[in-house]
Structure 1
Amino acid sequence: MRAIQITEFGGPEVLTEVELPDPVAGPGELLVDVSRAGLNYADTHQAENSYLARMELPLVPGGEVVGRTPDGRRVVALTNFGGYAEKAAVPEATAFDVPDAVDDVTALSMVVQGATAWLLLRKSVHLEPGESVVVHAAAGGVGSIAVQLAKKWGAGRVIATASSEDKRKLALDLGADVAVDSTAEDMTAALREANGGRRVDVVLDMTGGAVTDQSVAALAPFGRLAFYGMASRERPSPVDLGKLLVHSTAIAGMWLPHAFKLPGRVVHRAMSELFALVEAGELRAVAGGEYGLSEVRRAHEDLRSRRTTGKLVLDPSR
């Protein structure tokens, strides 16, 4: 089968198209003929071995696929690696049946970005009706879904941040009440201004660095910031617990794999709810573009430069 393999860690240049033997599904696994594989910013960290989970070489990257099993089931699945290929062996525990009305791009959007947005709002910050919600990188995969969910679940004011006029317009089209330039020099002041001069209740942040620090400073009493990525590759300042006391604020981290360890099949509940919203026309994925397997280096370059919006996918047939 055709696949992308990494034999040394690094940037997009280490992604190489190769021919490999077909994978074999082991106990508790499903073999999937991949129709589309998801592309995520986290994949760029996987390629350079800077992700939360350490990688071993040689490696076929890619953590999510959609396709059919040999018995005809159409599933979308999370996997630790192996997604950038024509076939993948995936854990059955992280595979979800896809309704006929849900297309490949939307299915892939929901299994990582949708589930992440759902968990951030439901579990990490416990959004309450009427609260103000800041969504950083609001035109991205998680952000574009988080804007829609926050609005649907009763947020009083959704404040989106994005780096270009087109991205800010997209966030407004998705339901954000106001859009802020993510390159603002003083994000604390920009967020308070966007919230009518008031501090904000909730921030969803995957940027890191000064944006995180200034977002924490913008939180209202009992405000919460959920941190789920570091796209800037800049670490925020160490948390000063004393400063959290000043406004009774909280900071939470969230990494999707941990959700599968929760009782009550939380991720399965999230996926059922997300697919139901899609089928009802109340939630949509933003298609960000499709790349052939041979274009994977360009895809990673686009991800790293933050030129993209919405959900990016890889077509292993070309």
Structure 2
Amino acid sequence: MRAIQITEFGGPEVLRVSDVPAPVAGDGQVLITVDRAGINYADTHQVEDSYLSKTELPLIPGAEVVGRTADGRRVVALVGSGGYAEQAVAQAPYAWDVPDGVTDGQALALVLQGTTAWHLLKTSTHLQPEESVLVHAGAGGVGSLAVQLAKRWGAGRVIATASTDEKRRQVLELGADAAIDGTPEGLKDRIIEANEGRRVDIVLEMVGGPTFDESFAALARFGRLVTFGAASRQQAAALDPGRLMKGSKTVAGFWLADCFADPKLLGGPLAELFDLTAAGDLRPIVGGDYPLSAAATAHQDLRARRTVGKLVLDPSH
């Protein structure tokens, strides 16, 4: 079968189409004919071996797929790796039926980015009614869903960062109350200004480096910042415990992989997100549909912040 298989670590240039043996489902697994594979920012780290978990070669990237099982079910599944291919294997508890009214691309946007946004707001920061929320990369896969969910769940004011005027217009259309430039220089002041002169209660942060530092400085008393990525590939300044005590601030980390041990931690939120999407109350954004042969271009676009929403690969081309 056709797949993207990497045999050396590096940037997008190592993503090449190969002919590899088709996978075989074992006990407790399902074989899926892939209609679309999801692309995640974490994939760019995995390909260069800079991810939280170490990667072994050879590797077929891709953590999630949507497609058909042998008995005709349309499912979205987490596969860990192996998604950038014509066929993939998933553990049966991690393959969920996709309801009518939810497209393939939407299902892929929800299974990782959607459940991440759900847990960031519900589990990690415990969003309360009328609290202010800052969402970094508001036009991205997680951010575009987090903006909508925060508003739906009663946030008082939602502020999103985005890198271009067009992306800032898009996050406003999704329901953000304000959209600002996410450039680190002067970011703290822009955050406070966008929140009408007040510091923010919650920050969803996935950039790292000085963006983390500026965001932390903009936290209100009893504010919570959750970090779930490091897109800048930079480290933030060390956090002295005294900086947490002053203002009674909380910094949390979130990695969706820590939910993988219990499928209910994914299936429950996913069912809720499916229902909201099918009812038209949540709008997952599919920002790019690339042929398998253009996987390298997709990674280049993602790393250069040229994309919005969820990116997917079509293994038939």
TM-score, normalised on structure 2? 0.98
Q: Equivalent residue for 1:292?
A: 291
Unaligned runs of 5+ in 1: none
SS at match of 1:223: strand
Q: Equivalent residue for 2:119?
A: 119
Q: Write out aligned runs for 1:46-125 (5 A).
A: 46-125=46-125
**Contact (CA 8 Å) 1:178, 1:194: kept in 2 or not?**
yes
State the alpha-carbon separation in 2 of the partners of residues 123 and 308 from structure 1: 28
Structure 1 runs of 4+ aligned residues shifted over 6 Å read none
Deviations 1:210-240 (A, max 9, x none): 0101101110111000100011111111221
How far off its partner does 1:260 sit?
Answer: 2.9
Q: Equivalent residue for 2:258?
A: 258
Partner AA of 1:202 in structure 2? I
SS at match of 1:261: coil
**Contact (CA 8 Å) 1:223, 1:248: kept in 2 or not?**
yes
Q: Equivalent residue for 1:6?
A: 6
Q: Write out aligned runs for 1:134-213 (5 A).
A: 134-183=134-183, 185-213=185-213
Q: Equivalent residue for 1:27?
A: 27
State the alpha-carbon separation in 2 of the partners of residues 267 and 23 from structure 1: 25
- Number of residue equivalences: 317
**Contact (CA 8 Å) 2:184, 2:211: kept in 1 or not?**
no
Deviations 1:264-283 (A, max 9, x none): 81211100100000011100
State the alpha-carbon separation in 2 of the partners of residues 265 and 296 from structure 1: 31
**Contact (CA 8 Å) 1:224, 1:250: kept in 2 or not?**
yes
**Contact (CA 8 Å) 2:120, 2:204: kept in 1 or not?**
yes
Aligned identity (percent) is: 60
SS at match of 1:290: strand
SS at match of 2:116: helix
How far off its partner does 1:184 sit?
Answer: 5.2
How far off its partner does 1:89 sit?
Answer: 0.7
**Contact (CA 8 Å) 1:201, 1:219: kept in 2 or not?**
yes
Deviations 1:152-200 (A, max 9, x none): 0000000010010000000000000001111252111111111111110
Partner AA of 1:206 in structure 2? M
Q: What is the CA RMSD across the aligned residues, in angstroms?
A: 1.0
SS at match of 2:260: helix
**Contact (CA 8 Å) 1:133, 1:201: kept in 2 or not?**
yes
Partner AA of 2:310 in structure 1? K
Partner AA of 2:20 in structure 1? L
State the alpha-carbon separation in 2 of the partners of residues 184 and 25 from structure 1: 47
State the alpha-carbon separation in 2 of the partners of residues 259 and 288 from structure 1: 26
